[in-house]
Amino acid sequence: MDSRFKQLIINNSDSIVQKWMDEIASLKSGNYTVTISDELYESTNREFVNVIFTSIRNQGSTKAVEEFSEKIINLGWPLSYITDGLQVFRRVSTEYLLGQSEKVDSDYFSNVFTSVDNWVEPLIRELVNEYSGSWEHILSLQRVALQELSAPLIPVMENITIMPLIGTIDTDRAKLIMENLLEGAMKHNSEVVLIDITGVPVVDTMVAHHIIQAAEAVRLIGSTCILVGIRPEIAQTIINLGIDLSNFPTKSTLKKGFTKALEITGRRVVDIDVKRNNIEHIMDSLQGE
Amino acid sequence: MEPQSCVNINKEWDIVGARQLGREMAKKLGFGTVDQARIATAVSELARNIYLYADKGQICFEVIDKRERQGLCMTAVDTGPGISDISKVMEDGYTTSGGLGAGLPGVKRLMDEFDIVSEIEKGTRIKTVKWIR
């Protein structure tokens, strides 16, 4: 029975495809795919229906399914395009098969439904799996990318290192910050480490706790940690929360912190012009004598 | 009163979502930057408590618009283990998770009104309000 239906569908694929295309085209307006050009929509639909038919003909064409779902993702089309398309195909082919027989009893009815379901269901499963799998893959790549820039350590000068923190700090990131901070401070032989929290939106007790721990750990390996970039509203919330930050130095801006760091390492920034003027001045006065 | 909008807290990243909603509502209501930061921090503390101790819960935001004053009401509800000694958790420095122990007393200082109800094995409900000055 099943193979007879299959033959029937394949032999009359032209009229079924036509019906399917019409229905899909009517879905376009007032739906998710409004911004897509008509040509692209039609060519993708044609490809879609080809994928459906190849999969019905030989039950194992994973390659075509894979490629197609990848294409849909690259185009940025929603998953509902795939599910809608297959739903429509189910309806169209069921209607077609029912229309082919003169006498329709309940046996025939259920046979048609079972066969069509048998073709469509594995395809739905496969396409949806492919689609969501690709998304998960993209997501995990982004997570890795995000992790790579979550706790950078910049050696700006000999003995001075800066860690700028931007964005939300969660438990994983706090761990990473601690590790990178200690490892980097050892590697660059830093005397002073500046932690810049200008880009941290909220400093709650957990964030503060992690920063305090990191600073304490830095102190244990013999470096000084300066917390910089404390905005006025953050300062007020820290006071409201009752967090004690008196044990290590803080500065309002990275600039002030850096000046302090230079001071600790016994250096300072000098204007070259002023120095040259001074020398010229001395030379002049020497010549005058 | 305006309808509530709620955020479910199930995983750590939900804390960020709750915080953003809180900050956005505070901004729309006309709170200053300092109060916005206070509200966002308070949401962060409440949401983190739910995530750490109760696993699942919800934070609801509500705009209070009375004739004499306006404000933002936040309610944190969870179905966690409950708190056996409320006076203890409201002490500064008391913690069971190795943290700073400043969360709940901190929230009380960050906000204008603070009300906590907890039942063992049933859950905890914290209601706080910040008024616009």
pLDDT digits (tens, 9 = 90+) for B32-52: 999 999 999 999 999 999 998
pLDDT at A5: 78
Those of residues 116-145 in A touching chain B at CB distance below 8 A are none
Residues in chain A: 289
The single-letter code of the amino acid at B92 is D
* Residue B53: CATH number of its domain: 3.30.565.10
Architecture of the domain whose range is A154-273: 2-Layer Sandwich (3.30)
Nearest to A127 by CA among A179, A187, A87, A178: A87
Domain A2-147 has CATH 1.10.490.10: yes
Phi-psi region of A266 (alpha: psi -120 to 50; beta: other; left: phi over 0): left
pLDDT above 90 as % of chain B: 63
Those of residues 205-234 in A touching chain B at CB distance below 8 A are 205-206, 208-209, 212, 232-234
pLDDT at A61: 61
Tell me phi and psi for residue A79, to 5 degrees. -60, -30
Contact predicate A165/A151, CB 8 Å? yes
Q: What pLDDT digit, counting tens, does each position of B36-92 carry?
A: 999 999 999 999 999 989 988 999 999 998 888 899 999 999 998 989 888 888 888
Contact predicate A7/A114, CB 8 Å? no
Our measurement of the distance from residue A156's CA atom to the centroid of its chain's CA atoms, rounded to an integer in Å, reads 30
pLDDT at A229: 93
pLDDT at B112: 94
Measured at the CA of A269, the angle between CA A264 and CA A275, to 5 degrees, comes to 135
Q: What pLDDT digit, counting tens, does each position of B98-115 carry?
A: 788 888 999 999 999 999
pLDDT at A173: 86
The single-letter code of the amino acid at A28 is K
Cβ contacts below 8 Å, chain A against chain B, sum to 69
Whole-angstrom CA distances from B4 to A10, B42, B72 are 55, 18, 11
* DSSP 3-state percent helix, strand, coil across chain A (nearest 5): 70, 10, 25
B interface mutation test: which of A202, A210, A244 has the most B CBs within 10 A?
A202
Q: Which domain, by its residues, includes B51?
A: 5-131
The single-letter code of the amino acid at B9 is I
pLDDT at B3: 66
pLDDT at B61: 93
Strands in B123-131's sheet, in edge-to-edge order, are: B5-9, B57-65, B70-78, B123-131, B113-119
Q: Enumerate long-range contacts of A81-85, CB under 8 Å, 24 or more apart.
A: A81/A32, A81/A33, A82/A48, A82/A124, A82/A127, A82/A128, A82/A131, A83/A124, A83/A128, A84/A24, A84/A27, A85/A24, A85/A45, A85/A48, A85/A52
Contact predicate A247/A217, CB 8 Å? no
Contact predicate A104/A98, CB 8 Å? yes
Q: Do B109 and A204 touch (CB under 8 A)?
A: no
Number of domains in chain B: 1
Tell me phi and psi for residue A5, to 5 degrees. -60, -40
pLDDT at A34: 60
Q: Do A240 and B33 touch (CB under 8 A)?
A: no
- Return the residue matching tokens 């009517």: A26
Domain ranges of chain A: 2-147, 154-273
- Return the residue matching tokens 């899909």: A24
ipTM of the complex: 0.84
Angstroms from B38 CA to nearest CA on chain A: 6
Q: How confident is the model at residue B125 (pLDDT cuts 50, 70, 90)?
A: very high
Helix (H) or strand (E) segment spanning residue A238: helix A232-241
Smallest Cβ–Cβ distance between A241 and the set B13, B34, B102 belongs to B102
Strands in A192-199's sheet, in edge-to-edge order, are: A154-157, A160-166, A192-199, A224-228, A250-251
Burial of A67 (0-12, 13-18, 19+ CB in 10 A): middle
Task: Please tell me the distance from the alpha carbon of residue A181 to that of residue A177, in angstroms, as a whole number.
Answer: 6
Q: Do A202 and B110 touch (CB under 8 A)?
A: no
Chain B contact present for A237, CB below 8 A: yes
pLDDT at B71: 92
pLDDT at B2 over 60: no
Considering only CB atoms, which chain B residues are within 8 Å of A243? Answer: 100, 102, 106
Mean pLDDT, 10 residues at a time, chain A of 289 residues: 74 80 73 69 82 75 77 81 85 83 78 83 84 86 81 89 89 88 90 93 90 91 93 91 88 93 91 79 77
